[in-house]
Amino acid sequence: MSNIQVNKGALIAVNWVLESTANADNIKDNIKVVAYNEKTQGLTNGAGELLTLTFTIGNNDKSGDVLNLNLSSLLVSDALGEGIPAEASNGKVTVVTRNKGDVNGDNTINVLDVVGTLNIALDTIQPTFEERYAADANDDGTVNVLDVVSIVNTILGK
């Protein structure tokens, strides 16, 4: 892989700074990309491109060869530097926008979220990253009965 370029996507405002190690030819291992804004301006709302990556495949590559691109070590933070939960998977970055306990994402914590959390804890559904994040109400990295109790307590105002 050579001629690697990383460019801002439509969601990144004009005055954002984009720094990358992708300027060198024939990167063998990792490309590191950092995008930031010194004026604490957020991203443009909505779905769309955050970054674009273009490159040239090698001269010895042929039709049908596979090139694996993995997004890892993802860190997303708000304008104050506070971490925001995010996941990189299949070339897409998902940023969590729902609150702990709001498993179904309707901006209300109620019995439907308790049922969703139970289904996740019992492995009867395959949750999205956002659903799993919201269901882990006590933030221990596991969805279980303790999260159900926490969500019930939130509903009851405890």
Q: What is the pLDDT along the chain (158 residues), one digit of tens a residue?
A: 567 777 777 777 667 777 777 655 545 556 777 776 666 556 665 666 777 777 777 777 777 777 666 666 677 776 667 777 777 776 677 777 788 999 999 999 999 999 999 999 999 999 988 899 999 999 999 999 999 999 999 999 98
CB 37 within 8 A of CB 11: no
Helices (H) and strands (E) in the chain, counts: 3, 8
3-state secondary structure of 54: strand
Confidence at residue 101, expressed as pLDDT on a 0 to 100 scale: 96
State how far the Cα of 61 lies from the Cα of 99, in Å rounded to an integer.
Answer: 46
CA angle 21, 22, 28 (to 5 degrees): 95
For residues 55 and 6, give the distance between their C-alpha atoms in angstroms, rounded to a whole number.
9
Give Rg (Cα) of the chain: 20
Comparing C-alpha atoms, which of 67, 66, 55 is closest to residue 25?
55
Give the count of alpha carbons within 13 A of 23, CB side only: 4
Task: Give the number of other CB atoms < 10 A from CB of residue 149.
Answer: 15
pTM of the complete model: 0.59
Q: In the prediction, which pLDDT does 98 show? A: 82
